[in-house]
């Protein structure tokens, strides 16, 4: 699976400031890999015929209620994976590929809260609904529920972005996510070790968060991450928008044309770097109008 490089693609080369591994993504990748190695290490030890891997999983994996469940498991199970490919696809084709741009738009703090919240909702869905639809025989582990939430956020931000399944088949993100949800619903109650209810729970949790965020924007209480796709006038995003996240929205182009940065070239580049660092920390919506205009003018000079 891969992105196309046309349409509304976020160009990573701009100012050299786009991070392929923003802080939360990097931290989650490292933490998940470290936990996987730790679980593999524990798997080599047995005491009285009991695998330490099983003990580790029973403490930190998501156990059914009444069969060893503890509240902290709603967080810890998200960092555990059954095998290398489980880890690889969740982290690379899920978290990194879809989450990278979401974190850049939202900022580190908001993205981390969203990610963990989707995982918690996924875990609660598994605990509450699995006894009814697909009784669990053991602990649930994996970040897939949180990853489904990340894909929902990405599809809401870039619905018409193309990805390539198996690097060959082009499909818009919004249709790709719809197909995943449909397959998830159809698979509930089936055989296998896939926690379909957790996947769907993560997707629903992400969707509800986005609706709540839009509701706040429409009431004018806060300028959240979806301001540029939901509000009228100068905040609106054309349906066939192209280009990068920085240029496509958020300010009046006519106003920006009359803006002349006051800094000399060297200081201006330093200022641009500071603005990009601020975007990485707190998201694009945290910028002031002056910072947005400065970034826009610098973008025009680069093109």
**How does pLDDT run across 102-152, given as a tens digit for each residue?**
999 899 999 999 999 999 999 999 999 988 887 766 789 999 999 999 999
Tokens 């509450």, residue?
128
Tokens 């399944």, residue?
165
Collect the ranges in the chain with pLDDT lower than 70: 1-18, 136-137, 166-167, 190-192, 217-266, 280-281, 283, 285, 299-303
What pLDDT does 168 receive? 77
What pTM was computed for the model?
Answer: 0.69
Tokens 């690379």, residue?
92
- The set of long-range contacts for 7-11, using a CB threshold of 8 Å and a minimum separation of 24, is 7/160, 7/161, 7/162, 7/242, 8/158, 8/160, 8/161, 8/241, 8/242, 8/243, 8/244, 8/248, 9/161, 9/244, 10/101, 10/104, 10/244, 10/245, 11/243, 11/244
What pLDDT does 141 receive? 94
**How does pLDDT run across 159-195, given as a tens digit for each residue?**
999 887 766 788 899 999 999 999 888 888 766 677 8
What pLDDT does 238 receive? 37
What pLDDT does 280 receive? 65
What pLDDT does 10 receive? 38
What pLDDT does 122 receive? 96
Where do the domains of the chain lie, and which CATH numbers do they carry? 2-218 (1.20.1540.10), 251-302 (no CATH)
């Amino acid at each position: 699976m891969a992105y196309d490089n046309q349409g509304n693609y976020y160009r990573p080369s701009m100012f050299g400031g786009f991070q392929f591994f923003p802080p939360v993504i990097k931290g989650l990748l490292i933490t998940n890999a470290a936990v996987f190695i730790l679980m593999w290490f524990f798997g080599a030890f047995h005491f009285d015929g009991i695998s330490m891997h099983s003990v580790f999983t029973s403490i930190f994996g998501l156990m059914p209620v009444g069969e060893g469940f503890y509240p902290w498991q709603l967080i810890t199970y998200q960092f555990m994976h059954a095998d290398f490919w489980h880890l690889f696809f969740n982290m690379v084709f899920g978290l990194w590929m879809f989450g990278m741009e979401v974190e850049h738009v939202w900022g580190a703090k908001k993205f981390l809260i969203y990610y963990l919240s989707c995982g918690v909702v996924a875990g609660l869905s598994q605990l509450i609904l699995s006894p009814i639809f697909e009784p669990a025989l053991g602990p649930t582990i994996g970040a897939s529920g949180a990853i489904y939430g990340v894909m929902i956020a990405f599809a809401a931000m870039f619905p018409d972005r193309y990805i390539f399944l198996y690097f060959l088949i082009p499909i818009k993100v919004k249709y790709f996510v719809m197909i995943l949800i449909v397959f998830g619903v159809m698979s509930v109650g089936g055989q296998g070790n896939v926690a379909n209810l957790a996947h769907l729970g993560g997707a629903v949790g992400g969707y509800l968060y986005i609706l709540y965020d839009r509701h706040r924007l429409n009431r004018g209480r806060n300028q959240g991450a979806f301001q540029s796709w939901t509000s009228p006038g100068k905040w609106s995003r054309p349906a066939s928008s192209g280009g990068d996240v920085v240029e496509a929205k958020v300010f009046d182009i006519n106003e920006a044309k009359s803006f002349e940065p006051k800094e000399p070239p060297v200081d201006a580049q330093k200022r641009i770097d500071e603005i990009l660092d601020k975007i990485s920390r707190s998201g694009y919506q945290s910028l002031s109008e002056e910072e947005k205009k400065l970034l826009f003018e610098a973008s025009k000079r680069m093109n």
